[in-house]
Chain A
Amino acid sequence: KQEVTQIPAALSVPEGENLVLNCSFTDSAIYNLQWFRQDPGKGLTSLLLIQSSQREQTSGRLNASLDKSSGRSTLYIAASQPGDSATYLCAVSPSTYNTDKLIFGTGTRLQVFP
Chain B
Amino acid sequence: EAQVTQNPRYLITVTGKKLTVTCSQNMNHEYMSWYRQDPGLGLRQIYYSMNVEVTDKGDVPEGYKVSRKEKRNFPLILESPSPNQTSLYFCASSSGMGANVLTFGAGSRLTVL
Using CB atoms and an 8 Å cutoff, list the residues of chain B in contact with chain A. 4, 31, 33, 35, 40-45, 48, 56, 58, 90, 92, 94, 96-102, 104-107
Residues of B contacting A85 in the complex (Cβ-Cβ under 8 angstroms): none
The interface bits of chain A over 55-78 (1 if a CB of B lies within 8 angstroms of the residue's CB, else 0) are 000000000000000000000000
A-B contact pairs, 13 of them (CB 8 A): A34-B101, A41-B106, A41-B107, A46-B101, A46-B102, A98-B56, A99-B97, A99-B98, A99-B99, A100-B48, A101-B33, A104-B35, A106-B40
Contact B101 A107 (CB under 8 A): no
Using CB atoms and an 8 Å cutoff, list the residues of chain A in contact with chain B. 4, 31-32, 34, 41-46, 49, 51, 89, 91, 98-102, 104-107
Contact B98 A106 (CB under 8 A): no
Best-buried of A32, A43, A45, A106 by chain B (most CB within 10 Å): A43
Complex CA gap A89/B42 in Å reads 9
Residues of A contacting B56 in the complex (Cβ-Cβ under 8 angstroms): 98
- Report the minimum CB–CB distance from B105 to chain A (whole Å): 6
Residues of B contacting A4 in the complex (Cβ-Cβ under 8 angstroms): 42
Contact A43 B42 (CB under 8 A): no
- Report the minimum CB–CB distance from B16 to chain A (whole Å): 28
Given A100-B31, A100-B33, are A89 and B43 also a contact pair (CB < 8 Å)? Answer: yes
- Report the minimum CB–CB distance from A66 to chain B (whole Å): 14
Complex CA gap A89/B41 in Å reads 12
Given A100-B97, A100-B102, are A106 and B31 also a contact pair (CB < 8 Å)? Answer: no
